[in-house]
Copies of this chain bind each other. A is one copy, B any other.
Amino acid sequence: MTAQVSAFETSEYVHRIAKTRVAMLDAGLDAIFVTDPSNQAWLTGYDGWSFYVHQGVILMQEGEPIWWGRHMDMMGGRRTCWMQHENILGYGDHFVQSTAIHPMQDLAVHLKRLGLDRARIGVEMENYYYSAKAHAVLTEELPDAKLIDATALVNWQRIVKSEAEIGFIRKAARISEKVIRTAIERAAPGVRKNDLVADIMHAGISGVEGDWGDYPAIVPLTPSGLDATAAHLTWDGTPMREGEATFFELSGCYRRYHAPLCRTVFLGTPPDEMLRAAEAQMEGIDAGLVAARAGNRTCDIANAFMSVLAKHGIERSGRMGYSVGLSYPPDWGERTASIRSEDETVLEAGMVFHFMPALWMDSWGLETTETILIQDDGPAMPLCNIERELFVKS
């Protein structure tokens, strides 16, 4: 968060809102109520760890967006949003985790006051921060309104990044390089995994020169050996061991913008099978980067990677990347386009993806990934600059 200053110029927020309003018109929506914290931040600048209670942004075709949340978080709204204070609304503490009343009852009063009692209102049906109960209560409180699924409507406006946003992601990428270097340098037999993660966290949050580090939306994923066959284990206090691969799935974060980056470190002499897979993975990534050009589709990236892997006798299907940028826990993905064979999103300059064709095998895992920027011409540009290889420390 930045005290009393939103992360971007007000003109940038105005532009974002104008884009969003076009999408609202196309979807036939009079208003949207946005609960995704990333969408809230993107539209208003709001930044605080308060999304564990109900809060959101109301956007209509006219006027400033309205941030609505818990009364005690209005102060945070006033200090981080670009709008006038009258457009920061709060509900009383007695609504919080009550079983008798629900914050959506308070929201409904505001929506009615705004003339939206018979409106078509978009809500984010598939979001962590819009619960099944919230939807049930809002539906009941607004019997004459129509609540329409607008999941990802705002997210899709975010997929092509502005110059200012790319600047933030580049700063995050510098921090990503620092944390991955820290992991590679410190990994050694006998080092407790949590001590290594402590160093990784310290490196990320201290940041790079004047650019302070923010918290990434996902904590370090750092499993070793057999644990690395599982994609989402975090860490424990076990010392690292000779003969094991550890993958580091990490991201620097600059003002909520991410540039995820993964590398794998092997302590000792890797088995031939792993070395061959690593070679195939690197060749596949090269092919993916070439396919990741404006005018191509996201599936072209996945298919290019899979073709190379197939040539090497490795089958890899499923999702191997996603759009990234502004994010809050529990996910640093933007939840729009995925890099996978069934996704046909057309690539445009200014899109940013985490291209992550990880290999999770029966007895080990190998993650080597890049955050890539789609350019007007030519292959995608990896935003981090770390050798793309299986790091072997013997």
Contacts and interface: CB of A to CB of B under 8 A. Distances in A.
Interface of A: 1-4, 47-52, 72-73, 75-76, 78-80, 92-94, 96-97, 99, 123, 125-136, 149, 151-152, 192-195, 197-199, 201-207, 210-215, 218-219, 221, 226-227, 229-238, 317-319, 322, 329-331, 333, 335, 338, 340, 342, 360
Contacts of A129: 128
Report copies per complex. 2
A380 to B, nearest CB: 21
Contacts of A318: 72, 92-94
A1 to B, nearest CB: 5
A235 B360 contact: no
A238 B2 CA distance: 9
Contacts of A2: 236
Contact of A48 (B3, B234, B338): B234
A126 B133 contact: yes
B136 A131 contact: no
A225 to B, nearest CB: 8
Contacts of A152: 99
Contacts of A192: 212
A87 to B, nearest CB: 17
A131 B130 contact: yes
A135 B125 CA distance: 9
B338 A73 contact: no
